[in-house]
Structure 1
Amino acid sequence: EARWWRKKLGGGLRQAGYLAAPGILALTEMTERLQEDHARARMLAEGLRKLGLHVEPVETNIVLVRTESAGLTAEQFL
């Protein structure tokens, strides 16, 4: 069961450095831009709320939208 969870959570990736590198760069060299990204995410979320979509509270630069509240699938929302 532990092996299954490890694979499920991404532990099966052999060379995951290429995925981690952009995050490390953002946290070490682009901190000013992160603040800008967070602000833009909040603005996007507010605009989506005004359109009647259910948007989860924004804490970072990630915006989570419940597309079914608009009668759309995630594919249609794109």
Structure 2
Amino acid sequence: MGIADDAQNKADDLKGRAKEAAGAATNDDDLKQEGQADQGLAGAREKITEAADKVKGGIDSVKDKLSGR
């Protein structure tokens, strides 16, 4: 969607990786799992963003064909 969304997803992924690493280093399974969940959420948001971009591209293509561009 936008640069801000991409940056937020990347930040959430990095935050999740840090939590997972900290949890592994301190034997804190809850923190490790929380980090994995953060990474999964960031990945899911990225996939949704990619799908939305593809749909938007398809809609724009159809509009261009209908308008004769």
- Fold shared per TM-score above 0.5: no
Question: Quick check: which one's strand share is greater?
Answer: 1
Query: Which one has more relative contact order, counting CA pairs under 8 Å at least 6 apart?
Result: 2
Interval containing the TM-score (normalised by the shorter chain): 0.3 to 0.5
Q: TM-score, normalised by structure 1?
A: 0.33
Instruction: Tell which structure's C-alpha radius of gyration is larger.
Output: 2
